[in-house]
Structure 1
């Protein structure tokens, strides 16, 4: 069975694991997922991730979630741009998440990055997800 939204699947797995207070979770690997996880790690929402390579081009990502005083660091994570409705934004119309306390993850012409980095580089792009 093919998956129509792999990034949405990973976001749902992270949300479910955080609600159940799991320390880690597994997801199939892809370059887009690793780029989004890199942004989440640099922004301090996850502890880290490791990639396990299997044969014939398959890989698996183990994600370690981050908690502070028993509460997950990711309060809310949701997919914005979906396969049925893509959401693009220029640098001047990038929305702020939770009055600047959260982060938008964007796919730009220079790669996947947070909204703060995109503003610094004067780039717009597809808003993949919001985290706070």
Structure 2
């Protein structure tokens, strides 16, 4: 059993990007599904599929690369809030990743969303990770 399932998710994606894999399979959970939807909506992954083949299910993520240069869309994906040190932010202290070029994924009372959406809705939450 892993200590932190979100860190495991991010590490699997990071390792697959560094190894230039096209598809990565990750054990599913509701929070991982929501993070995957945010990454797809913001254009960091090409596609995803939720499979319920066993009790837990899996998430298949098709990673996105530039068609000519083969540079991955995800340059870095880092965990911000850890189980031993939770990071919460309100609208005023919401982090800006690469001065707005990247995204921070926030878990709010209205669901998982990006830092820009949370600022627009004037709500805060736990900063799960940053992506650029």
Q: TM-score, normalised by structure 2?
A: 0.96
Tell me what 1:126 maps to.
Answer: 126
What's the counterpart of residue 62 of structure 2?
64
Aligned partner of 1:23 in structure 2 is 22
How big is the shift at 1:52? 1.0
Task: Report deviation, 1:95.
Answer: 1.4
- Runs of 4 or more consecutive aligned structure 1 residues displaced over 2 Å after TM superposition: none
Gaps of 5+ in 2: none
In the TM superposition, residue 117 of structure 1 has moved relative to its aligned partner by: 0.6
Residue by residue over 1:52-72, the C-alpha shift from the partner in whole angstroms, topping out at 9 and shown as x without a partner, is 1124x3201101000012000
How far did 1:112 drift? 0.3
Structure 2 residue aligned with 1:107: 107
- Describe the SS at the equivalent of 1:17: helix
Query: 2 CA distance for matches of 1:95 and 1:60?
Result: 30
Q: Secondary structure at the match of 1:58?
A: coil
**What is the alpha-carbon distance in structure 2 between the residues aligned to residue 118 and residue 105 of structure 1?**
9
Q: Secondary structure at the match of 1:72?
A: coil
Secondary structure of 2:92 counterpart: helix
Q: Distance in 2 between matches of 1:4 and 1:91?
A: 29
Measured against aligned partners, the alpha-carbon deviations of 1:78-108 in whole angstroms (never above 9, x if no partner) come to: 0000111100001111111001100000000
* 3-state SS of 1:67 partner: coil
